[in-house]
């Protein structure tokens, strides 16, 4: 359906959408060419996995395999090709990228679609600073393919050709919320819920009795910080608290924060990157924490992919990033909704 309720396949609706979709194709072709020129190999990750990922607030689509002997095995549609791509790093691929169809339940809106395209790429033996440079090149490429001088979304613009702003989370919390984030983190990365709550109250935000530190962190980030990011030029928001970076390694100079960054333009999150964690024991510990939180909030947990942990033990040091292709196309074309740049939007369901 279009935003007005007319099916996307009606000729008049398609005629309006088609220029955006053709631009999408040009952007995808440009991206593939860019990666090929830099000796990246394109890979295809299986969508069916034993685990959809182990982040507490990601919801997956569940299914099952019917085996030849009549038994059933639970499977999930992946929320990201990350686990498969890291197994390929372990197998020996030094540079790879994937344009993967991924699936996330509980998500639908102007910026969310239950099935969407994730561009992921990985660099073995390179730091996540290399990914920041990649992002600058790819945003400029997308704008050029769309014939756009600026990225835009709902009245906000961002210049993809300008030098990116780079902010740490601590700097962003201080600048935009007057909150000392690092004061709420212990040397080992443990979080001080009461200390953060005391500061959040002073900013006029709600604090509920059952809010965790992570709840409060997210409330400040979404309410007070994200609206300021990617204005006029894209923003790299980096050095997330370790507790908010389950798959990233700590920075070498401060164990409280991790090698994770997110890319923003026009107030929209476009990408999420890690200096990859390669310690399987630490990764298991973090997954178990995430799944305990998922069980507390949603009453369910997802299995841990044991082969993924085995692969981490032989995976080289690497950096990796996931970028929402559909959102990038939206911003390059100025489209107001993600459905406008998806060739065949998922049906909303429900009886007519």
DSSP for 69-118 reads TS-EEEEEE-S-SHHHHHHHHHHT-SEEEEEEEEE-BT--BTTB-SEEEE
* Distant-in-sequence, close-in-space partners of 63: CB < 8 Å, separation ≥ 6: 48, 74, 75, 76, 77
The 10 Å CB-count burial string (b at 16+, else e) for 106-137 is eeeebeebbbbbbbbbbbbebebbebbebbbe
- Rounded mean pLDDT, 224-230: 96
Q: How far apart are CA 159 and CA 58, in angstroms?
A: 31
Q: How far apart are CA 237 and CA 261, in angstroms?
A: 5
Q: Which of 222, 204, 200 is nearest to 213 (CA)?
A: 200
pLDDT for position 338: 97
How many CA atoms, within 13 angstroms, populate the side-chain half-sphere of residue 332?
29
pLDDT tens sequence across 35-52: 999 999 999 999 999 999
Strand pairing of 72-77 and 61-66? Answer: antiparallel
Which tokens in the block code for residue 270?
């476009």
The 10 Å CB-count burial string (b at 16+, else e) for 279-288 is ebeebbebbe
* Distant-in-sequence, close-in-space partners of 3: CB < 8 Å, separation ≥ 6: 336, 337, 339
Percent above pLDDT 70 for the chain: 98
How many CA atoms, within 13 angstroms, populate the side-chain half-sphere of residue 138?
28
Tell whether the model's pLDDT for residue 287 goes beyond 70.
yes
- Rounded mean pLDDT, 163-176: 97
- Rounded mean pLDDT, 111-139: 97
* Distant-in-sequence, close-in-space partners of 56: CB < 8 Å, separation ≥ 6: 290, 291, 293, 294, 297
- Rounded mean pLDDT, 78-103: 98
- Check: CB of residue 326 under 8 Å from CB of residue 338: yes
Question: Which of 114-118, 144-148, 164-168, 204-208 is least confident?
Answer: 204-208
Mean pLDDT, the chain, rounded, equals 95
How many CA atoms, within 13 angstroms, populate the side-chain half-sphere of residue 297?
16
Cα separations (Å) of 68 from 46, 47, 51, 71, 72? 20, 20, 21, 7, 9
* Distant-in-sequence, close-in-space partners of 129: CB < 8 Å, separation ≥ 6: none
């Amino acid at each position: 359906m279009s935003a007005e309720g007319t099916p996307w396949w009606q000729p008049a609706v398609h005629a309006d959408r088609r220029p955006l979709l053709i631009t999408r194709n040009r952007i995808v072709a440009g991206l593939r060419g860019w990666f090929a020129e830099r000796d990246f190999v394109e890979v295809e990750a299986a969508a069916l996995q034993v685990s959809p990922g182990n982040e507490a607030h990601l919801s997956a689509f569940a299914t099952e395999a019917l085996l030849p002997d009549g038994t059933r095995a639970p499977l999930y549609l992946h929320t990201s090709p990350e686990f498969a791509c890291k197994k390929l790093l372990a197998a020996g691929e030094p540079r790879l990228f994937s344009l993967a169809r991924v699936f996330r339940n509980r998500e639908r809106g102007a910026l969310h679609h239950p099935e969407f395209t994730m561009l992921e790429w990985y660099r073995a033996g390179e730091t996540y600073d290399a990914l920041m440079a990649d992002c600058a090149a790819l945003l400029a490429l997308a704008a050029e393919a769309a014939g756009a001088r600026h990225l835009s979304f709902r009245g906000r613009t961002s210049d993809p050709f300008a030098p990116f702003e780079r902010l740490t989370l601590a700097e962003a919390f201080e600048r935009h919320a007057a909150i000392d984030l690092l004061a709420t983190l212990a040397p080992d990365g443990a979080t001080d819920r009461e200390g953060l709550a005391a500061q959040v109250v002073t900013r006029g935000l709600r604090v509920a009795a059952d809010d965790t530190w992570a709840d409060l962190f997210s409330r400040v980030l979404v309410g007070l910080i994200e609206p300021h990011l990617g204005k006029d030029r894209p923003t790299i928001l980096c050095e997330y608290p370790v507790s908010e970076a389950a798959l990233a390694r700590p920075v070498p100079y401060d164990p409280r924060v991790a090698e994770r960054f997110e890319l923003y333009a026009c107030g929209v999150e476009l990408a999420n990157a890690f200096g990859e964690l390669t310690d399987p024991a630490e990764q298991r510990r973090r997954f178990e924490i995430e799944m305990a939180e998922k069980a507390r909030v949603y009453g369910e947990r997802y299995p841990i992919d044991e082969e993924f942990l085995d692969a981490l033990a032989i995976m080289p040091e690497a950096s990796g990033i996931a970028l929402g292709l559909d959102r990038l196309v939206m911003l390059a074309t100025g489209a107001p909704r993600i459905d406008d740049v998806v060739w065949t939007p998922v049906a909303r369901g429900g009886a007519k």
